[in-house]
Amino acid sequence: MTLALIAGAGALPAALVAALPQCPFVAALDGFPPDALTPDLSFRIERLYPFFNALHGAGVTQVCFAGAVRRPRLDPALFDAATAQIVPRLMQSLAQGDDATLREVIALFEEEGFAVVGAAEVAPALVPPEGLYAGALTHRDQQDATRAAAIAEALGRVDVGQGCVVQQGLCLATETLSGTDAMLATVAGLPAGLRPPAQAGRGLLYKAPKPLQDRRIDLPALGPATVAAAAAAGLGGIAWEAGGVLCLDLPAMQVVAADHGLFLWSRRP
């Protein structure tokens, strides 16, 4: 079977390609180029069915989604006749939130005969199993992770985000549309009076998939830059749901964590 990577922005598409035994066909959504990767083809949502035809012409039978995208602005003048007919479906799913939109995207590809596979399925090495990968955990860290997991689950059930920051039981920030980097920057800028004293626990970033999401698309991801940003935010470490989060370069993450005295914990749900 020929695999196509439907790529968005960021480092994840290139990390996924590097983890595969052979290079897939790479297609990128126009306006969201992946880092360090040259796409074989760019496409627009307004011309989705010509894009499907191009994939069929390239012999593609499987697709895998990876990378960050925002909702693109659609140009009515660019729609082909077939794609124009599904605009009501797309608009209805967009109005219901990100999870509904992604499920609709998967459905459209499957209706065209493509098997949709998750990044964790095609590159399982990017999904570390349960374990402590850097540093050491305190009892306070474990309590904060339990609290953060409950918060992240509640956020995910209402389709808000995939992470939060907790310190000594207090939620310092939650992930929204702006993403993890913006959340950590917010924490870094909090006045000292709004944070507990670090001596009793520096807090952590927690990431997990949304409880109801289709895990074949939009799994949360971590990388070395995330570890550096967590350190800059004054946190003690990063915890994530084991089996549900992509680590783009775990060895590099471990190096950055060791340099800053952070723990990295793949935690059993």
pLDDT of residue 35 exceeding 80: yes
**Per-residue pLDDT band at 94 (split at 50, 70, 90):** confident
Question: Average pLDDT of 68-92?
Answer: 88
pLDDT of residue 1 exceeding 70: no
pLDDT at site 95: 79
pLDDT tens digits for range 188-235: 999 989 999 999 999 999 999 999 899 999 999 999 999 999 999 999
Q: For every residue of the chain, which 3-state class applies, written as one string?
A: CEEEEEECEECHHHHHHHHCCCCCEEEEECCCCECCCCCCEEECHHHHHHHHHHHHHCCEEEEEEECECCCCCCCHHHCCHHHHCCHHHHHHHHHCCHHHHHHHHHHHHHHCCCEECCHHHHCHHHCCCCEEEECCCCHHHHHHHHHHHHHHHHHHHCCCCCEEEEECCEEEEECCCCCHHHHHHHHHCCCHHHCCCHHHCCCEEEECCCCCCCCCCCCCEECHHHHHHHHHCCCCEEEEECCCCEECCHHHHHHHHHHHCCEEEEECC
Q: Order of strands across the sheet with 131-134?
A: 131-134, 263-267, 237-241, 204-207, 163-167, 170-174
**Per-residue pLDDT band at 172 (split at 50, 70, 90):** very high
**Per-residue pLDDT band at 87 (split at 50, 70, 90):** confident
Domains of the chain (ranges, CATH numbers):
2-122 (3.40.50.20), 127-267 (3.40.140.80)
Compute φ and ψ for 227, nearest 5 degrees: -65, -45
